[in-house]
Amino acid sequence: MKETRRKPVCLLLAAVMCIILTGCTSSGNQAESVQQASGANGEKIVNIGVTDSLGGLNTLTVDQSWINAYAIGLEFLPLVQLNGEMNFEPMLADSITTEDNLTFTVHIDDKATWSDGTPVTAQDVEFTVLKLASPVIANPTMMYYVFEGVGDDGFTQEGASSIDGVKVIDDKTIQFTTKYPISMITFQNSYAAYLRVLPKHVLEHYSDEELMTLDWFSHPDVVSGPFMVTDYDTNHYISYTANKNYWKGAPKIDKLNFKIVDGSQVYAGLKSGEIDVTHHTMTAIPMEDYESIEALEQVEVTYGAPVTNQSVFIQTANIPDARVRQALVYATDRQQILEQLMKGHGEIVDGFLSSASPYFDESITPIPYDPEKAKELLAEAGWDGSKTLKFYVNSGDSTFVNAAQVMAAQWASVGIKTEILTVDFATLMGITGSTEYDLFAVQYTYAPVDPYPDVTWLLSGEGSWTGYNSAEIDEAMMVTQQVSEVQEIKAQYSIVDKKVQEDVPMFSAYVISAQGAVNKRLTGVKADVYGFFNNIHEWDILE
């Protein structure tokens, strides 16, 4: 998510910078939302159970965590979206081309229209980029410094009406020009897939200051996607109604609800029918409920590819000795945790890449469980055991809360004391990039086809989640943007993963093959980690 260095382009789908909460409706409206989901008047209603709280619905100010990205993406389509086959599928754009990895020409689908009948245009795209690059709005996660005319801080001059590197060619064509080469995959994954285009004709009359808190985002009346929000509460629900004028075809279901629940409530919801769908990355289902959910006759269960990494990030400013960081891994019986807590649904890797990636190097053997080696490393580092490490964990992920307890006990056995601090997702994201924590864990999905943005952001020195940087990794990341052969790219990511294994600014507790579930009364649902909602307008309910 950066150039070959220091600024975030975007955070992927568990990926998640500091959350900026925007205005929302009162939680007192929750009863109304639940009543709407009862199916009155013969309406077709689908309830999706998720376990992360919503950061907000203003695409100009929120981060790009999974729930925010999907909640907004149902209303405002991106240019492209990754699908279950790990290909980028057209959404608003029907083509993106480049001849030199510097100039990217985007053509907007001629059929794309807003819900009020106005065509979606290149001017809408330009308007949205200008707002995301505004120093007044100052979104910290959608950074456009890679493009000509944008400052190295990711922002334009205040009040800018154009950007040199974002040029409208005609009503349906726009060109992006970068300061240095980036790969087509990175352009698609880091920009095109996260650029949720807004309607210029509706919003152009508002100042940047007004847009930051504009109530319109809470109940927009003009959208390009299949649904529009009618009501929401960041901790309880998001309710949508169908956009009957959706240019790809009117949705077959009338209303959609994201029900934000605790992980322990998911099984009961699926059993009772109050939850119809769970998502592999937005729904942290307790592992102890996996078999019970598999046994439900009315539910179809799928396990996704191992892409969701239960990452543990180490603030290297607080733990500067790599030997201590290595000791944490040697003292962790990751395979035992995978087998006992995850029932084997996943894998153990070192670095960022799992076997789902075309760049995965199977020759890298994960650091084994070896508590005696951990003790040796601690002795070499002069570790006296007097410091207690603060370990922050997402309270909404009950499985990893249990895993963290196991890890803390294993660390204690080699002389590393930890204090586990369980906090909600928003609080956890609020401390990222600070030195408040020594370690923190979160589920993070590194896009298998393009881990470049996340690697370069997370290992970007002071201010990043790890405080770590490496010239060797920076060089390898630069090369990935200049070559196209899979084996050449794989060789560079192998350099990265080996260096991460050596210096341990982060490590993977395990990579999850997460469970997803769909009620059999639904049709047209393609349950997968990626592309889950690409065809949501085709979802239907069996009569």
Worst-scoring range by mean pLDDT, 301-305, 467-471, 493-497?
A: 301-305
Number of separate domains in the chain: 2
Query: How far from 468 is each of 309, 445, 460, 504, CA to CA, in Å?
Result: 19, 20, 6, 9
Confidence class of residue 42 from pLDDT cuts 50, 70 and 90?
A: confident
In 315-438, where do the E strands start and end? 346-347, 388-394, 417-423
Q: Return the CATH number at 129.
A: 3.90.76.10
pLDDT value of position 15: 37
Q: Which of 157, 183, 209 is where one domain is finished?
A: 209
User: What residues form DSSP beta bridges with 301?
Assistant: 517
Contact in structure between 15 and 444 (CB atoms under 8 Å):
yes
**Unique residue bearing structure tokens 């204090």:** 419
Q: What is the maximum span of the chain, computed from C-alpha positions, in angstroms?
A: 71
Q: 203 with 312, same domain?
A: no
**Unique residue bearing structure tokens 């919003």:** 203
State how far the Cα of 339 lies from the Cα of 507, in Å rounded to an integer: 18
Q: 200 with 314, same domain?
A: no
State how far the Cα of 53 lies from the Cα of 508, in Å rounded to an integer: 24
Mean pLDDT value of segment 433-460? 90
Mean pLDDT value of segment 78-96? 93
Question: 309-353, pLDDT tens digit by residue?
Answer: 999 999 999 999 999 999 999 999 999 999 998 889 999 999 999
Q: Does residue 521 form part of some domain? A: no
> What sections of 56-179 are H helices per DSSP?
66-73, 122-132
Tokens, residue 494: 């192998």
Question: 14-38, pLDDT tens digit by residue?
Answer: 333 332 223 333 333 443 344 444 4
pLDDT value of position 92: 98
More confident residue, 17 or 425: 425
> Can you give the pTM of this predicted structure?
0.77
User: What residues form DSSP beta bridges with 168?
Assistant: 174
pLDDT value of position 35: 40
pLDDT value of position 8: 38
Q: 343 with 491, same domain?
A: yes
pLDDT value at 525 more than 50: yes
Q: Does residue 246 form part of some domain? A: no
pLDDT value of position 21: 28
Q: Does residue 62 form part of some domain? A: no
Q: 345 with 493, same domain?
A: yes
State how far the Cα of 190 lies from the Cα of 11, in Å rounded to an integer: 8
Contact in structure between 480 and 493 (CB atoms under 8 Å):
yes
pLDDT value of position 22: 32
For 250-280, the three-class secondary structure string (H helix, E strand, C coil) is CCCCCEEEEEECCHHHHHHHHHHCCCCEECC
Mean pLDDT value of segment 440-456? 88
Contact in structure between 420 and 393 (CB atoms under 8 Å):
yes
Q: In what order do the strands lie in the sheet with 173-177?
A: 93-98, 103-108, 173-177, 166-170
State how far the Cα of 290 lies from the Cα of 283, in Å rounded to an integer: 12
Tokens, residue 187: 């352009």
Q: 203 with 341, same domain?
A: no
Share of the chain above pLDDT 90, in %: 74
H/E element holding 405? helix 398-412
Span between the terminal Cα atoms of the chain, in Å: 45
pLDDT value at 293 more than 70: yes
Nearest to 536 by CA among 279, 231, 250: 250
Q: Does residue 325 form part of some domain? A: yes
Question: 115-134, pLDDT tens digit by residue?
Answer: 999 999 999 999 999 999 99
Query: How far from 236 is each of 26, 198, 259, 265, 530, CA to CA, in Å?
Result: 10, 26, 6, 13, 24
pLDDT value at 143 more than 80: no
pLDDT value of position 483: 80
Confidence class of residue 39 from pLDDT cuts 50, 70 and 90?
A: low
Q: Which of 171, 187, 209 is where one domain is finished?
A: 209
What is the distance of C-alpha 42 from the center of its chain? Answer: 35
Q: 188 with 317, same domain?
A: no
Confidence class of residue 433 from pLDDT cuts 50, 70 and 90?
A: confident
User: What residues form DSSP beta bridges with 440?
Assistant: 313, 392
Q: Does residue 81 form part of some domain? A: yes
Q: 348 with 487, same domain?
A: yes
Contact in structure between 391 and 438 (CB atoms under 8 Å):
yes
Q: 332 with 453, same domain?
A: yes
Q: Which domain holds residue 427?
A: 308-512
Tokens, residue 240: 């949508």
Q: 315 with 441, same domain?
A: yes
Confidence class of residue 3 from pLDDT cuts 50, 70 and 90?
A: very low
Helix (H, G, I), strand (E, B) or coil at 346: strand
